[in-house]
Amino acid sequence: MNQNDWINLLQFKSSGILFGNVSFTEPARFEFFLPPFGSGGLYAIMVPDNSAKPRSFRAVYFGESGDLAKRVCLTHEKYVDWVKEAGTAHDLYVSFHAMSGSKDERVALESRLVAQYQPACNDTFNPLRSLFGGGTV
């Protein structure tokens, strides 16, 4: 690693958060964030978690959208689940990863992050769950 790589790494640490080598914006309180209007990409809903490393945030949901401002909102179908996971709406945070690619590219990256982190509020197919009354978790 050369000097520029180290400088970029140090600057990035204070200006964003990584999930699966994907850079997201610095976490912002959900109640105060300014959505990137007209921008597509991924979003991560997070809660504070002191056991999470290297940053003290745990992802509870990953999503994708062609227009993040329309999707990351209080009327999202999982908002109540996010608040329940956080304990209070005040402890919800959001970060974004802008993408100019296709919906298929966004969905593929979202699926990879969901599989890697298994966030509490994402529905993922579980074939064994049907034995216990459902098809998703």
Phi, psi (degrees; rounded to nearest 5) at 66: -80, -15
Structure confidence by residue, pLDDT tens digits, 34-52: 777 778 999 999 999 999 8
Q: Which domain holds residue 43?
A: 3-132
CA separation for the pair 63, 106 (Å, rounded): 9
Q: What's the structural domain count of the chain?
A: 1
pLDDT of res. 12: 41
Query: Within a domain: residue 122?
Result: yes
pLDDT of res. 43: 96
Six-digit token pair at 87? 């304990």
Secondary structure (3-state) at 68: helix
Query: Does the structure show a pLDDT above 70 at 13?
Result: no
Residue 124 backbone class (left: φ over 0; alpha: ψ -120 to 50; beta: rest): beta
pLDDT of res. 29: 95
Is the Cβ–Cβ distance between 89 and 100 less than 8 Å? no
Query: Within a domain: residue 137?
Result: no
Query: Within a domain: residue 89?
Result: yes
What is each CA distance from 119 to 1, 13, 42, 60, in whole angstroms? Answer: 32, 22, 14, 4
In the chain, the N- to C-terminal Cα span, in Å, equals 41
Structure confidence by residue, pLDDT tens digits, 54-78: 899 999 999 999 999 889 999 999 9
The CATH number of residue 110's host domain is 3.40.1440.10
